[in-house]
Amino acid sequence: MVLQKRLNYGFNGYQVPVIPRASRSARGRGTIKKKPDNNQIQAFEMLASVAGNFLQKNESSDPKNVVFVEDPCSFCGTNIKDKYEDERRSFMRDSFDHGACSEIASAFVPSMQGKHDNHRGMGDSSFLDNHLEGQGQNVLEREDERIKRRSVNGKTIHIKGCSDGLIEPCHKVSKHCSLANNAEKPSLECRKHLDSFPNGFTSRKLVNRDDDENLVRCTQLNSKNNNTSGAPPDMPKLKDASPIMSDENNSRDIFEFENLQRMYPFKKRKFFNQNSSSTSDRGSQCQGMFDSSDTTRVNGTNHGTSATMLSIEESSSIVGQQAHSGSRACNVKLSIKSFKVPELFIDIPETATIGSLKRTVMEAVTTILGDELHVGILLQGKKVRDDSKTLIQTGISQDDKRHRLGFMLEPRHTPISPTSYNDDPCFLTTSSRKKLSRQSTSLTLQQGTYNVSKERSMIKIESCAKGDLNIVSSLEDTSTNNNMSKCRALVAVPAINMEALAVVPFWRKSGNPDFAQRRIRRPFSVLEVEALVQAVEKLGTGRWRDVKQRAFDHAKHRTYVDLKDKWKTLVHTARISPQQRRGEPVPQELLDRVLAAHAYWSQHQCKHQLKPL
């Protein structure tokens, strides 16, 4: 079926980090490959998809067919609006107070369209405040006003009650989607779902309900449909309900299905279209959720192009699909590009027990993920099971940056193959990883750069969008020069996939390539070039380690491979005309020396001996 195809397509885009080559070829630099934070983003996007659904309007080709659900839902027995508002407030209170990413705020503030910029840093309190105080109020308390506003925008919003179950609508969606073109009938019923964000996102009440199988299903993707190599991502499993749908239930999931898959193609294309992202641009990858139900939200540069499912610009978080909405039944006019989970700070004494650490982390994470999960802790790849040990006893101290502490979110009721990740979580077999990952999210403690008091270990939890990791890693480079190196960033790596929600944190060395991040680009300065030239003149072109040691021993970010590469480019640069050269101009004198040295050492095999030039 078409939907499945599209879904899998999207998943593949995520699963298989194909982005790199394609994007890299565009410019050959500043692109990302197998970024760990992509996975993170994915994961949280999955969450976002639920959250986003709340705001999503699933507009048909006819913008008039925008429907909101207002009345209490008989299924959940809750007034959606009230519930949403409660959740929103709770979320805001719990999260934003701690410097949550502003993007989240926007996610909860549908009326702030157009006000969201990329590059919003975390903890942009003023930004948050503004919207929380101002427009945030509009979300529900002033629903009518919002409706008015929308109406002014030429859209008619119908408010309709949710009279039946939350799930039932799902199976109707496909129909409605197909009808969407005709603007016959908006997928009204679907909206019940969509608009019940709290139910899907933070509300465990609903999810926990034993009789709420349907709802659970609706927040899951059909894992059976992994008919391609890539395992489809999944929502974090908030409940140990069966994520597997029976055939008869299949249609029910179409809706969520749709919403999720909708997102992926965009994401995928985004990367492919990321034709000029410089390193610094990656900081902008931290995006929030946006309500782009209003077409005014559409970013002018990334929509309306022929790339129906393609266009997502780096800086935009939502892509309007006006241009082709009419030609595709199920196209929605918005997509969540990325979703940032607010950072959480955990300040815990070293003498605290592992158990308390777990609980603390759990508390924080629970705010977002719901509390049907518990935290597992990995240290050096091994699970720490003894809750009574103290952190220090376990080897978790602020002074040791290398202990590589990892946190996992695991479903309470789902036994996780102990052998699998006990031995080495980084080398899970595909199958075992699938088992694990289905309901697990991993949080990894990575070296970071946060200040911490001497007596306490401050662990920063943050979901990382691309930019974040970038920041972290770049700070790492300079950590030796500041006093921040003793801290760590706890990076949430919710690699949530349908089939493979990897528990695997990111030991780069462990060989898991999915968690590698391209280093930031650092052009060589003339001084560096000079040092390099001088060293090569002395040592030759085949002893890069020595060159490194000799001239760049203190430049942690310059590896001998870097130096070798630089020499390569220097030779090339020296051979081309000055007009063709780019970047900071290298003095001709240096380039001459490069050629000379290169020529010399080409003749004289630099056999481990210092040869005078």
| Positions in the binding site for DNA (CB under 7 A) | 20-21, 24, 29, 33-34, 513, 516-522, 541-546, 557, 560-562, 564-565, 568-569
The residues that bridge with 441 in the sheet, in sequence order, are 409
For residue 365, which phi and psi values (nearest 5 degrees)?
-70, -35
State which residue, 207 or 570, has the beta carbon closest to DNA. Answer: 570
In the bound state with DNA, the residue whose beta carbon lies nearer, of 511 and 587, is 511
Distance CA 606, CA 613 (A): 11
CB of 498 to DNA, least distance (A): 25
Which residue, among 243, 273, 211, 232, has the nearest Cα to 76 in the 3D structure? 211
For the bound state, the minimum distance from the C-beta of residue 39 to DNA, rounded and expressed in Å, comes to 14
Paired strand residues for 392 = none
> What does the block give as tokens for 446?
């990575």
Q: How far is the CB of 432 from DNA (least distance, A)?
A: 22
How long a stretch of residues is the chain? 613
Residues forming a β-bridge with 158 = 67
452 and 458 Cβ atoms separated by less than 8 Å: yes
Nearest to 170 by CA among 250, 65, 69, 260: 250
Least CB distance to DNA at residue 565 (A): 4
Kindly tell me which of 218 and 539 has the beta carbon lying closer to DNA: 539
Say if residues 128 and 112 touch (Cβ distance below 8 Å): no
Q: Which is nearer to DNA, 483 or 605 (CB)?
A: 605
Which residue lies nearer to DNA by CB, 2 or 561?
561
201, two tokens? 């996102």
d(CA 215, CA 235): 13
Q: Which CB atom, from 315 or from 559, has the smaller least distance to DNA?
A: 559
Nearer to DNA, 14 or 255 (CB): 14
What span, in angstroms and rounded, lies between the C-alpha atoms of 369 and 63? 32
Task: Compute φ and ψ for 456, nearest 5 degrees.
Answer: -130, 150
State in angstroms the smallest separation of the CB of 475 from DNA: 15
Phi, psi (rounded to 5 degrees) for 216: -60, -45
User: With contact defined as beta carbons under 8 Å apart, do 437 and 236 qualify?
Assistant: no
Q: What backbone phi and psi angles, to 5 degrees, belong to 345?
A: -115, 135
Q: 518: which DSSP letter?
A: P
Residue (262 or 558) nearer to DNA, CB: 558
Contact 60, 115 (CB under 8 A): no
Q: In angstroms, what is the minimal distance from the CB of 587 to DNA?
A: 20
Distance CA 245, CA 217 (A): 7
Q: Which is nearer to DNA, 98 or 611 (CB)?
A: 611
Closest to DNA by CB, 555 vs 596, is 555
Could you tell me the smallest distance in angstroms from the CB atom of residue 466 to DNA?
13
To DNA, the closest distance from the beta carbon of 68 in angstroms equals: 45
User: In whole angstroms, how close is the CB of 484 to DNA at the nearest point?
Assistant: 21
Minimum distance from residue 29 beta carbon to DNA (Å): 6
CA distance 45 to 13: 14
